[in-house]
Amino acid sequence: MLLAILALGQQQNILEIKVTPPQFAGIENALQVQSNSPNALIDDYLAKNVNFPQKAESWGFEGTEVVQFTVTAEGNVTDFEIINSVCREIDNEVTWALLQTNGMWLPGYNNGEPVDMTKEVSVVFCLDKESSKSVHQIFSEKATHYFTNANKTLFEKHNPKKAMKFYSSGLNYLPYDKSLLLMRGMCRYELGDKEGATQDWTRMTSLGNDIDMSEYMTQIEGMKGYEELVIILNK
């Protein structure tokens, strides 16, 4: 089962400056975009043009691939960055499909001027083709399983290295989950990877700073990196 989901980018008004994100326009209607969803066309394109690599499927790889890239002022795509990698074969498959969209984008605008702007898309690769559950439900259950095991490993067994692996496994399924990003960042900081921790926490806040910290405060307050986390959350 292959499902293209979540192409990020929201229109926003900052003071008097109007910022409009880039939009995928497809092949035939590159100059006229008429859709209730600004991401409908790119979602549809990815669903039709991205295949589950046979090697990845046979090896049992699944998860949510997240790719960030730049849409230039000319409507081309460049500067690809894999935010969440399911495996190398899937990295290559999604990147290849996006590369074919050169010239199919309406650029982002800053106060009426076309500018280079970052875009992000995700594609879900699910091995369970027979389940009656939705892909989101399947992945949510798997991510929750890893999150629960990670918490037990971290707080009861005091093993941040193993706990970090569990949090990472959960993020493979739900890479936009802020609780998983928060706690993996704590593990990374405990293990001396301050840069990795900062990346997780910065990513978390970029997704919206509405995470409920109350259930974690008592547990993480004495951990390394807590003060740095609070600084990032308050920015």
What are the tens digits of pLDDT across the range 139-151? 999 999 999 999 9
- Residue 148 belongs to what domain range? 135-233
Amino acid letter for position 201:
W
Domain-located, residue 47: yes
Strands 17-20 and 108-110: antiparallel
Structural domain total, the chain: 2
Q: What is the pLDDT of residue 27?
A: 56
Domain-located, residue 130: no
Together in a domain, 80 and 113: yes
Together in a domain, 210 and 156: yes
Q: What pTM was estimated for this model as a whole?
A: 0.85
195 Cβ contact list (under 8 Å, min separation 6) = none
3 Cβ contact list (under 8 Å, min separation 6) = 47, 123, 124, 126, 135
The pLDDT tens digits of the residues spanning 84-136 come to 999 999 999 999 999 999 989 989 999 889 999 999 999 999 999 788 899 99
Together in a domain, 120 and 52: yes
The single residue listed with the structure tokens 């706990």 is 163
Whole-number Å distance between alpha carbons of 85 and 82:
6
Of 77, 92, 125, the position where a domain reaches its end is 125
Of 125, 156, 175, the position where a domain reaches its end is 125
